[in-house]
Amino acid sequence: MRKELLKVLDEEEKKVKKLVEVLKRKRDAIEKGNSKKLGFILKEEKKEIDEINIFESKRMKLTDRLSEELETEPTISGILSKMKEPERHDLTIISAKLTELLNEVSLLNMGIQQMIAYKLEEFDMVMDLLRGRHFTYDKSEKTIAGTVFNRRA
């Protein structure tokens, strides 16, 4: 069961690495405004996430069973405290790599969310300009007041 857990974690790590690459391509497509490419990337992202969820489910079941066997909490750290070398070392390494990759996924997602929010603000501003909405102008600059147009901001 311990070797099976290591195998599942290894496969999950590979899938998360692929997700990181997909998210980087997603970020680039959003940045370039390539909606056609973005559509394909979103489908690939969903596929990768679905596969990661399968491995995560397997990992959780194995963690529960192994924690019962070792009489410890159903966490990787609980299991690590009861394991012997070299399995403990292998599990520590793979867990650290997976944690690092998941942190990278989180950071990429936050960046993508901020890019989308900016693009939406930009779109709203353009739409408001096209609709002829009234804006407040900075008297000294003769430009629309605000952080985007005001050089002093």
Q: What is the pLDDT of residues 93-151, one digit of tens each?
A: 999 999 999 999 999 999 999 988 888 888 878 887 777 765 555 555 554 444 444 44
* Residue percentage of the chain with pLDDT more than 90: 59
- 132 assigned to some structural domain: no
- 128 assigned to some structural domain: no
- 131 assigned to some structural domain: no
Is the CA virtual torsion 41, 42, 44, 48 positive or negative?
positive
- 87 assigned to some structural domain: yes
Report the pLDDT value the prediction gives residue 87, as an integer from 0 to 100. Answer: 87
In the block, residue with structure tokens 């985007």: 148
Tens digits of residue pLDDT in 67-81: 999 999 988 888 988
- 9 assigned to some structural domain: yes
Joined tokens for residue 110: 């936050």
Question: Around Cβ 13, how many Cβ atoms within 10 Å?
Answer: 19
Range of the domain at 67: 2-115
pTM of the model: 0.76
Total number of domains in the chain: 1
- 38 assigned to some structural domain: yes
- 144 assigned to some structural domain: no
Distance CA 138, CA 72 (A): 65
- 21 assigned to some structural domain: yes
